[in-house]
Amino acid sequence: MKHKITTFVLLFIASNVFSQQKTIDEKVEELLKKMTIEEKVGQLNQYTNDANPTGPLVINPNKQEEIKKGLLGSMLNVMGADRTRKYQELAMQSRLKIPLLFGLDVIHGYKTTFPIPLAEAASWDLEAIEKSARIAAIEASATGIHWTFAPMVDISRDPRWGRVMEGAGEDTYLGSKIAFARVKGFQGDKLGELNSVMACAKHFAAYGAAVGGRDYNSVDMSDRMLWETYLPPFKAAVDAGAATFMNSFNDLNGIPATGNKYLQRDILKGKWNFKGFVVSDWGSIGEMIPHGFAKDSKDAAYKAITAGSDMDMESNAYRNNLAQLVKENKISIDIVDDAVRRILRKKFELGLFDNPFRYSDVERQKAQMNNPEHTKIAREVAAKSIVLLKNEKGILPLSKDLKTIAFIGPMVKPKRANHGFWAIDVKEIDSSYIVSQWEGLVNKIGKKSKLLYAKGCGINNDDKSGFKEAIDIANQSDVVIVSIGERHDMSGEAKSRSTINIPGVQEELVKELQKTGKPIVVLINAGRPLVFNWLADNMPTIVYTWWLGSEAGNAIADVLFGDYNPSGKLPMTFPRSEGQIPLYYNHFNTGRPSMNDNDIIYKSTYIDSPNSPKFPFGYGLSYTSFQYADLKLSKSAISKNEQIVVTMNLTNTGKYDGAEVVQLYIKDKLGSVVRPVKELKDFQKVFLKAGETKNITFTIDNSKLSFYNDKLVFDSEAGEFELMIGTSSEDIRLNANFELVD
């Protein structure tokens, strides 16, 4: 009897507790009811920490007071658990104690720095990419960061644009897969887990198509191009559960993205049913004034909120005008409430109302910043991101028994150079942990071989006074490794270049070294595809290392000495000259296609340059060789609801174990609108031991055959298709035709 009573009491308490448990939506509504219009507007306002601005800074001496009054929803660029805690304490002095959200550009790692995103894309390794984002989240979240402004999922076909370094390159299919993997990596299992940060898909939309590759410039494109090429990675980010979006600086067909209702309300929050919130880019609400789209700050605030921008990063347009706009009945309070709701919901999901300090944990920060597992993975991802462009005389891999090695160039000794533009400011953290390229070589071979160093020249000046020393040590060596390229601040935001050569006298240095007759390995460090025709035509061995992060030195040494067999493939086309840009593999055929580089008369060509790229999309060599054979299609004709199973055998025919990225392209031969010459529709990265064969399977279904037709409806059309499987977009090894029937 006593037992029965206890059970009854427990059940009663449990059901009571259960009925008191409110959903997040209920909690948001309850809080919203208590908020004044000024407090609501405060939630839509975001300020930078003055110490580390990432845009044009306007000092506001009242920041702290505003936080205490509950007039700020979020801050960016606050670094470190103690500082995020300090600001959060100010927010806890406000009337409603609504916690701040801390955002930061954690683009490719926090302390442990991974390769720049474009380099990681060259790995075509979705698991590795997800892992790198996961580690970035683990480290950032321990410092109190709730939110990273990543991934950047902008497709770009223009290497003059400095921000190509931040994305996944030119291809929509690869870019969408990577967008998905990065969002999953940042957010982990669930928002609210202590090691999860909110992802932010940016920049919505079409920022990567800025005219002339000039940052912040206008974008003019057809709706078909927008939907087919530029939007899918954003949709993939929504599908992966991205908590937030950032809009972009550019205008799209005359309407600034920040004030663009079609993008933000109709597509993102409407058709895609996105439940998170949209943050503006830095000052982009206010920038609608110089765009000539808003009369003044009040008009800009009106246009941005109406179009669906929820949070104002650094323009003060919402702070100064939104309450007034509501009071004057120019905008409805419902529109403000909708934006506030979206932001509060995320704060609840992150668990900040239960404990606003839960992420700012000095002890966890200390532990995660020195996690050897993170370093190990950074080294692996860096090695996977390296692309071997040439290895004609089999100079690589280098023997570990070489007597003397000369390591020459301006990128050999610096540490910061390996980090690239968007790395978290290493001054804040101490840069000693970054493995320079020199240290990587010393770690690998320093005990066995004599290593000689000369800088040779700077990165971007014309001083040749160091050439002689470089030539002297080259003459004393069995092999010369030269490391040259772009300085870490030559690609990135506001780093567009009209000439994308290897700057300064670096190429001249290599020309002089060539005269020594020694075997030379050239390492090119850069944030984008560069033009380097002389090197490409005259140097037998070229390794594209991009900017590889804190384990750069070790990863480069792993590849040079064959401890990792390079497997990277270019995620962007490398042009022969800037004049060819935009140059991309999935172009249309035109009515007058040229069939080869000599076929130029009355053809769609230049009279002074071939159409072909210097290195095509999907290209990259290995120390081993792969044979593609035995292509089989389960059917040669299918209807829309059927699938074709494609199989083939891949054999490692060389001497080294290694991985190959098998790429599947499809061409739709005839359509109601013109279709590209080929489009990547699938790929697999396959590891094979020397001599091993694996059977590879792909599946083709209707989604791989569909496109935006003449009515802008995503659908397939009956007809003939060509299937191509290859080792790059230009080196197709197997092909077959199949048909889609009504």
Q: By C-beta, is 77 or 94 nearer to ligand NOJ?
A: 77
Please identify, using beta-carbon distances, which residue of 107 and 121 lies nearer to ligand NOJ.
Answer: 107
Name the minimum Å distance from CB 528 to ligand NOJ. Answer: 16
Q: What angle do CA 348, 283, 489 make, to 5 degrees?
A: 100
Nearest to 394 by CA among 623, 125, 216, 120: 623
- Name beta bridge partners: 391: 541
**248 close to 304: Cβ distance less than 8 angstroms:** no
Instruction: Name every residue whose Cβ is closer than 8 Å to that of residue 424 and which is 6 or more positions away in sequence.
Output: 79, 104, 106, 109, 110, 111, 113
How distant is the alpha carbon of residue 731 from its chain centre? Answer: 26
Strand partners, 147: 103, 198
Cβ proximity to ligand NOJ: between 313 and 548 the closer is 313
Residue 677 in contact with residue 667, Cβ under 8 Å?
yes
DSSP 22: P
> How does DSSP classify residue 108?
S
Which has the closest alpha carbon to 522: 396, 378, 659?
A: 396
**Smallest distance from ligand NOJ to CB 425, Å:** 12
CA distance 628 to 210: 39
Closer by beta carbon to ligand NOJ, 49 or else 360:
49
> Would you say 207 or 574 has its CB closer to ligand NOJ?
207
Question: Cβ distance 233 to 175 under 8 Å?
Answer: yes
- Whose Cβ is closer to ligand NOJ: residue 146's or residue 202's? 202
Least distance in Å: CB of 539 to ligand NOJ? Answer: 35
Q: Measured from the CB atom, is 54 or 684 closer to ligand NOJ?
A: 54
Distance between CA 568 and CA 624 in Å, rounded?
13
> Contact, 425 vs 544, CB < 8 A?
no
> What are the structure tokens assigned to 662, written together?
């098998």
C-alpha to C-alpha distances, 14 to 8, 334, 728, nearest whole angstrom: 10, 36, 61
Shortest distance, position 462 Cβ to ligand NOJ, whole Å? 32
- Residue entry with tokens 């025919």: 653
Calpha distance 207→309 (Å, rounded): 16
3-state secondary structure of 16: helix
Between 31 and 197, name the residue whose CB sits nearer to ligand NOJ. Answer: 197
Q: Which of the 8 DSSP states describes residue 330? A: S
Pick 280 or 565: Cβ nearer ligand NOJ: 280
- Nearer to ligand NOJ (CB atom), residue 141 or residue 375: 141
User: Could you tell me the smallest distance in angstroms from the CB atom of residue 521 to ligand NOJ?
Assistant: 35
Tell me, letter by letter, the H, E, C secondary structure of 203-239. EECCHHHCHHHCCCCCECCCHHHHHHHHCHHHHHHHH
Q: Are 682 and 631 in contact (CB under 8 A)?
A: no
Q: How far, in Å, are 85, 410, 454, 455, 520 from residue 511 at the CA level?
A: 55, 15, 16, 15, 11
Q: Which is nearer to ligand NOJ, 101 or 556 (CB)?
A: 101
Which residues are catalytic, by number?
Answer: 281
Would you list the DSSP string of 363-430? HHHHHHHT-HHHHHHHHHHHHHH-EEEEETT--PSPPTT-SEEEEESTTSS-SGGGG-TTS--HHHH-
Helix (H) or strand (E) holding 484: strand 479-485
- Please name the residues in contact with 516: beta carbons below 8 A apart, sequence gap of 6 or more: 471, 474, 475, 480
Beta strands across the sheet bearing 479-485: 387-391, 541-544, 520-525, 479-485, 404-408, 450-454
Q: How far apart are CA 375 and CA 353, in angstroms?
A: 34
Residue where the block lists tokens 């939007």:
231
Query: How many angstroms separate the CA atoms of 525 and 460, rounded?
Result: 13
Q: How far is the CB of 74 from ligand NOJ (least distance, A)?
A: 12
Nearer to ligand NOJ, 166 or 551 (CB): 166
Which residues sit at the interface with ligand NOJ, rule CB under 6 A?
A: 54-55, 76, 105, 149, 202, 281-282, 493
Say which residue the tokens 């120019």 belong to.
330
Quote the least distance from Cβ 87 to ligand NOJ, whole Å: 17
Cβ 364 to ligand NOJ, closest distance in Å? 24
The percent of the chain in helix, strand and coil, each rounded to the nearest 5, is: 35, 20, 45
**Inter-residue contact 97 to 130 (CB < 8 Å):** no
CB of 57 to ligand NOJ, least distance (A): 11
Q: How far is the CB of 89 from ligand NOJ (least distance, A)?
A: 24
Q: DSSP characters for 551-601?
A: THHHHHHHHHTTSS------SS-B-SSGGG-S--TT----SS--SSTT--T
Instruction: Name the closest residue to ligand NOJ (Cβ).
Output: 54
State in angstroms the smallest separation of the CB of 154 from ligand NOJ.
10
Question: What interhelical angle do 552-560 and 372-385 show, nearest 10?
Answer: 50
Smallest gap from residue 55 Cβ to ligand NOJ (A): 5
Q: Report the amino acid identity of residue 708.
A: Y
Nearer to ligand NOJ, 75 or 336 (CB): 75
| CB of residue 459 to ligand NOJ, shortest distance in Å | 24
